[in-house]
Structure 1
């Protein structure tokens, strides 16, 4: 394995960020002549040209883009660890990137995020919604909140809470279709689900006791439960959604429960992160804070 000069890597990353060696050298307080030699030394160590540079052109090569992504990730980890070792832990700074699905982000995260940001005012928080599953490496996120335990052994997965599920439909839809008194009755109904993997003729309904395979006419799938709920409100079918999302509509009688005695297995909501980053102050603080919040609830 080749030895890299940390100052060379920092200079390269800063040059890529600022679009030139001169501004990078000024920010890092490096003589311009030395900056050029440092970049050449880094390219010799890597064995590839990383930057096209000239009077009118300054751009990353394909190898440069690949190396930059790894360099930025490594520098972030190193900076976080150095901050952790050099501080008393009271000053948590930096940018925390959180990936969450639509509904779980707004309802679960936002109920507690304002208090977290008040407690750690020097932390910059970025929340990315809209992904049913987050890839922490690909998406460059620090932590992810979602349901299920996808990610394999490469992720640390911590349980936050259980999200109860329910079947529901609009009164107008149920008035036009056959009554639902048992699971097999669902087979003649239009179904709206949060499974976005394509049209299915058979779904799994997991109850506390067992998993039932039920043939249905699946007419809509989305990884956003709120979209599924809106279709149900439009009398388009029977929806399987989180109870907390449907409860206001149930209370307002714009939706009614379907098979309310059916004890559906809840979704497990988890927080996940890469094990190598557990000891960075911003991630450790966020994980501990939210685990404490849900442990007390």
Structure 2
């Protein structure tokens, strides 16, 4: 009995998405065929690789040991296929990109036309969202993410450092004591995308260290533009990317708080699955956008 790459691919996908049925859907394989493929692979290996049954799915000890080898085999095959097909032929098919809303509008919009002009036969789809897509479930080919949290099993390529700013409406600041140092931030209302903290603590990420201040109130949201709207209506001090707040600060509806205080920038990363690192359309987009943002 010979080893079939389709069987190995199905096994790895089942582990990634958490089920044989989901793997069959992702790979467009009939569910009955998926079950036969896994049984064929297990017969060849000589061990049960996956526990499966009512409400039970997971790797066996032998399956866990085989998984690392299976991934290496798939990676080697993908790289070989990529090298063989790496020609000057035009890119075709579809490329799906996931990006947070403000980055799509403020960062990518001015560069995408150049990429589309260079690859006119490639269909580009951009999903602008506020959440994180699951690349293992193939919601997108490439995702732009802030920070590295949740990227442990992905290839992450840093494309830019994002400057942060503390800002508030002038009429909010007029009603509160002057802020001249970080400690003066205590007792204010904050608007942030940061993680939950104990009580009413606000984390101010200084370049030197994290400063923890006791806030009068903290509002959290995963959408910086929502925080900006609240800040403009005197809802508090917002900690947001400068990219988002630049227009409001220039227009005077917001002012920078502690402008001389250096905040730790956030990293923007392009992420994609390790098994697809040599896919031509992904490599072309990653290289193009990385170069474009370096010069921005």
Fold-level match, TM-score > 0.5? yes
Match of 2:192 in 1: 193
Task: Decide whether the 8 Å contact of 1:97 with 1:126 is kept in 2.
Answer: yes
Two-structure CA RMSD over aligned residues (Å) = 3.8
Task: Decide whether the 8 Å contact of 1:164 with 1:243 is kept in 2.
Answer: yes
Match of 2:15 in 1: none
In structure 1, runs of 5+ residues without a counterpart are 10-14, 22-38, 49-61, 63-77
What CA distance in whole angstroms lies between the structure 2 residues aligned with 1:158 and 1:232? Answer: 32
**How far 1:205 moved relative to its partner?**
1.3
- More moved, 274-283 vs 104-113: 104-113
Q: Is 1:105 equivalent to 2:104 in the alignment? A: yes
Match of 1:273 in 2: 272
What CA distance in whole angstroms lies between the structure 2 residues aligned with 1:2 and 1:197? Answer: 52
Match of 1:216 in 2: 215
Match of 2:295 in 1: 296
Structure of higher CA gyration radius: 1
Deviations 1:78-135 (A, max 9, x none): 9998576346233111111111112122211222111111111111122222234443
What CA distance in whole angstroms lies between the structure 2 residues aligned with 1:254 and 1:163? Answer: 22
What CA distance in whole angstroms lies between the structure 1 residues aligned with 2:79 and 2:120? Answer: 17
Q: Is 1:182 equivalent to 2:181 in the alignment? A: yes
Count of aligned pairs between the two proteins: 254
Task: Decide whether the 8 Å contact of 1:205 with 1:212 is kept in 2.
Answer: yes
SS of corresponding position for 2:259: coil
Distance 1:41 1:160, change over 3 A: closer
SS of corresponding position for 2:271: strand
**How far 1:255 moved relative to its partner?**
0.8
**How far 1:239 moved relative to its partner?**
0.6
Match of 1:244 in 2: 243
Task: Decide whether the 8 Å contact of 1:168 with 1:257 is kept in 2.
Answer: yes
TM-score by length of 2: 0.72
Match of 1:92 in 2: 91
SS of corresponding position for 2:177: coil
Task: Decide whether the 8 Å contact of 1:166 with 1:243 is kept in 2.
Answer: yes
SS of corresponding position for 2:180: coil
SS of corresponding position for 1:104: helix
Q: Is 1:262 equivalent to 2:261 in the alignment? A: yes
TM-score by length of 1: 0.72
Distance 1:46 1:132, change over 3 A: closer
Match of 2:130 in 1: 131
